[in-house]
Structure 1
Amino acid sequence: MTLTPAIRDTLAAVTTATLTTVLLKKGLRRTWMRGPRPLRAGQARVVGPAFTLRFIPAREDLATPESWSSPRSTRGAIEAMPEGVVVVAGTEGITDAGIFGDILCARMARKGVAALVTEGAVRDAAGVRGTSLPVWCAAEAAPPSVAALTFVNWQEPVGCGGVAVYPDDVVVADDDGAVLIPRALVEAVAREAEAQEKLEAWIMREVEKGAALPGLYPPNAETKARYEKETGGA
């Protein structure tokens, strides 16, 4: 399923909390990535297809400063990133070194990358915050990536925060973290999440009026009928 502008706009208007509930109803429990948190306060919600990066624990003959000049390097990966992607970097939970610093993040921002999401760390954190690239990460660390990690490849399946991420799955990130939507489910999840948020906005208004929760949240048949009557389901 292509992430159309209409679907992107719908997903940008719903929370990751709502998305996890919709995905749970579809039987998907491992969609929220453990670890990534907003690097800056007030980052806007981002939506985009996943562009994956895979890191593994460092092996000394491969994880060297010289490897940064290899065609298969983080630098090469950045130049392959199309506009609008959410970069998802799997590091096997290693946070002892920063996978990217300010210069690489600035380049991603210049290329129109929507965001970086990683279970790992970034370095030059003050400089990264100074770029326009939204970042969700698990930590900040001074050492360069090769001090603890070997970069393997881009655009292959990765694990990030306990979630399996395939290229072109859709990632939504906000203040609560980052959520993965399988590519084949994007349209249905967007439609159901939008409907759920409208219903819950109506439920919140009822709670503010003093309504009790039983039968209201979750709504029973009577409550659903009243909602449909009062709003037309819109």
Structure 2
Amino acid sequence: MPFIAGPAPAPLPAELLSKLSRVSFPTLGHYLEEGFADFGIRRLTGTARVVGRAVTVRITGQDSTVLHHAAGWCEPGDVFVIDTGGDTRHAPVGEVLAATLSIRGAAGVIVDGVVTDLDEVEPFGLPVYARGSSVLTTKLLSLDAGGMNVPVVCGGVTVNPGDVVLADRNGVFFASVAVVEAIVDTALADDAEEPELVAELRGGARLGDLTGASEAVAGFGAS
């Protein structure tokens, strides 16, 4: 299939970004089941939490021509989400690509595949997530294939350009703005209650009593 370039996604709402900078990402997992990348994609460089809009790139096998082109259009706060088409041998991201994205202000890179040059990328501070590392890299083969700002699959999740991307050492999450806006206030409220919950546990309270789980268990088998 020939190369496809979709329109640049809209910026994420400033108020939503502010809320996401404060929320605990795993709290979202209390309420949602979809959008969580499989655990094989882990943070390999950087320490900062990732919050940003998805810029999606689909490459073809060994060819990273499309990715090099797309990197030049990176804007501050973008998270590059790279679909390698299932290739876990060739690394499309290394020192030069990471330098480009870092200089242009990317918030992070998520690769459903492998990356390279970990020692050289680490000083940039750019959070890079991938399935592992390799010394075998992609090439500039100039194939008329792949896409930029098109739907991709990363970690088993379909990601659309402009989706919210959240990532930290726990894992990676993708969702539409609408999905995240519908749940973020509830998640923030939960986060605000947790210190009090922990304080009660330190005081001797039982977790099941505080959460209602023990009451539910007491009713098991009752009819």
Q: What is the TM-score normalised by the length of structure 2?
A: 0.81
Aligned to 2:105: 112
Moved more, 152-161 or 189-198: 189-198
Give distance in 2, aligned partners of 1:38 and 1:135.
6
Alignment equivalent of 2:171, drawn from 168, 177, 188: 177
1:201-234 CA distance string (max 9 Å, x none): 322221121111223125899xxxxxxxxxxxxx
Q: How does 1:72-83 map to 2 (within 5 A)?
A: 73-83=66-76
Give distance in 2, aligned partners of 1:144 and 1:93.
15
Aligned to 2:42: 37
Aligned to 1:47: 51
The runs of at least 4 consecutive aligned structure 1 residues that moved more than 3 Å come to 218-221
1:134-180 CA distance string (max 9 Å, x none): 11111101111249xx7611100111001111011101111101111
Give distance in 2, aligned partners of 1:152 and 1:218.
50
**Matched-pair contact (CA < 8 Å) for 1:93–1:161:** no
Q: 1:33 to 1:78 in 2, by over 3 A?
A: same
Q: Which runs of 5+ in 1 are unaligned?
A: 222-234
Residue 196 (1) aligns with residue 190 (2):
yes
Q: Percent identity?
A: 31
**Secondary structure in 2 aligned to 1:44?**
coil
Aligned to 2:211: 217
Aligned to 1:224: none
Alignment equivalent of 1:125, drawn from 110, 118, 122: 118
Give distance in 2, aligned partners of 1:18 and 1:189.
10
Q: Which runs of 5+ in 2 are unaligned?
A: 1-9, 216-223
**Matched-pair contact (CA < 8 Å) for 1:20–1:179:** no
Aligned to 2:149: 155
Give distance in 2, aligned partners of 1:169 and 1:94.
23
Aligned to 1:102: 95
Residue 136 (1) aligns with residue 123 (2):
no
Moved more, 86-95 or 105-114: 86-95
Aligned to 2:12: 3
Letter in 1 for 2:171: G
Q: Name whichever structure is richer in helix by fraction.
A: 1
Aligned to 2:84: 91
